[in-house]
Structure 1
Amino acid sequence: MTVINALGNQYYLYIKKGQKPVAWDIYDTKPPIEFSLTTYFGQVFQAIEKSSLISGLVFYVTWNEIDELPSYGQNVVVFVLGDEWYRIPKYTHKVRAVFKCVGTNSILGCNPFLQPSLLNLLTLIQFLRILVVGVPGWVNYHWHKFKNLILGLGKITPIYDIPLGYHNSKNLPIKNIESRLYDTYFSGSVVHREYPIWSLKSWLGTPKALSRKIMISTLNKFQKKHPQFKVELSITGGYHNRTSEDERSYCEIMMDTKICVVPRGTSFETTRLFEGMKYGCILVTESLPSRWYLDGIPVIKIKDWQELPGILKTLLENKELMAEMHQKSLNWWQDKCSESIVGEYIIAKLLREFPVNLEINLDPP
């Protein structure tokens, strides 16, 4: 395996068990294999390297592999970017630290009993499935915590939450909110997977699909009722299917958008939230989980997308409020979610695990 020696730490992209990890030069804009979110996390890791505060670690970056790794030890740090089942990796007790997008604690995000609806029923079913799927990892994690406590082996490292960031957001000049062309914009998938005829999902849908259908229907009605406002909609197969031209167009339109609607994906937390924030859009979202980078976030949260027309009209008729929220969105990105801030957060957590500057002899996988 080729090891990149110019870096203080070693970085590997790891797809799934049974496959060899692929060495990743984090300064290379085109990773050796197709892997989502590397644009954002490449810069996060560059901030870590620039600090020179930690060195000698093996960083495994995986999408949703939670069962096993190529190697373990106190020099191994894992980043799980795409596990939307909120699972606790089985190997947590074998490594120095685990950083996880989306986290390990799901939220219901609605009250299906006081506010009964098909969407809330599907949300409850999905929430319960996530709890069931997460039981083995939870039991394994807490068993090892208990065993370490009884045997005096020390604490197992916590699992740290980190933001999803963006897929391939371009660095564009920030446009003044008043001069932006589109009042609101959504580009994304509604249903990106076909389910077999015998699946309940093919008949009832999923929380993501139903939520987005309601949102799009509401936006279309808003546009007809208020033709003076510019609403831009583009239904796609999802960001995994975007071409480089699609990416450029998406970023340019997002920068030209005043209000970014952020419907849920499979989870409530999506890359769109961070893409819109980075560009200073005013964000209208559904429920969001409690995370260090989301608590207090300057967004407008709604329980039902049918509330959206009133919110859009109120915002678009209040230029001062929009300018204020635009700046708050930019500030939140810079102070909480930007690549350098997340890099500092990771460094702080690793230095807490390692009380002195890290100098570990590497045993490459």
Structure 2
Amino acid sequence: MRRIAGIILAVLLIGGVVAAVVAGRSNEDGTATKTVQAVIGSEKAEFFADPDVVKALAAKGYTVKAETSGSWAMEGLDLKGYDLALPSSQAPAVALAAKYKVTGTLPRPFYSPLVVVAHRNAAEVLAANGLATLDSEHRGTFEMAAYLDAARADRTWQQLKGARKYGELTGTLYLSSTDPETSNSGALYLAAASYVENDGKVVATDAEVDRTAPLLHKLVSVQGAQQAGSDAVFRDFVSGAGNPLVVVYESQVASLLAKGQQPDDLVVLYPDTTVNSDHTVVPLTENGKAVAELLSSDPKLRELQARHGFRPQGESSEFALDTTYLKQELTGVHQAAVPTSEVLHELARRARGQGGHST
């Protein structure tokens, strides 16, 4: 056991570390593996727990013991004694690298764009009101500017044409997301929304934060209590609970489909302006650096990343999908740049109604 008291304290204070997974036990010739302590975003827990991933890492001589945490919550954890951190985007990784004096380029082995998952009735109403376009029964495009206009005007489902025949579509129209102060997907949702609200430019100055913050606060405050991780939000949606529109990672949908589940009620909407979640490794030791290299270059691990719905960096041939729900190529989707860690933290604070200070 490693610093049990410290980890429990971090759970109580941060609410970030929620589970543990182990990848790798022994390699194929039976020799002992090197144990690598890692903290990862919760959406990667299934990947590291996959027996095939365990076997692939063990064949290279490594056992990965991974604990899950909200990506932004990792900053509040004590990572001394750990070998690597793997948050869900570059901004929290850069902040962690600065904190632990990690130099050099941070590996980004795979990525996943943000998408909006919708129940079929909700998607059809959005399409009828110019808030989405449907390419097929289960896939389409989410119109970010039109949605932000609707949010700014406090539009309700009842005000949308065709919504009244669906009893579940009531109240304010909004997207459910995770807590942007602790969770990467929630922070990236604000990054995409602020980019659109800032006339297609990355928010970088105090004036731009002040200009975009009121709308971001509206997007978050309408949701009430938010989950700390995207796994719980997605599970609630799939079970039919909660809001009919939810911001998640494409990889979560792809992983569900890879298990043979094809919900008839599921529609995947790609925002016309979105951001990629660049899963970025912060190697804290030489063993951590070695595992980061394997995640980036080992053919078997890249194949397994694709199986779990992540898009390996570089060649995309591994990423073969059921295109009934998902796009093979991200054509027609504008990838917005993400603000610096400092600015994104401030946008999250302002969105949560915590007032402002200089960025």
- Given the two structures, how large is their TM-score scaled by the length of structure 1? 0.32
- Given the two structures, how large is their TM-score scaled by the length of structure 2? 0.33
Q: Which has the higher contact order (CA 8 A, sep 6+)?
A: 2
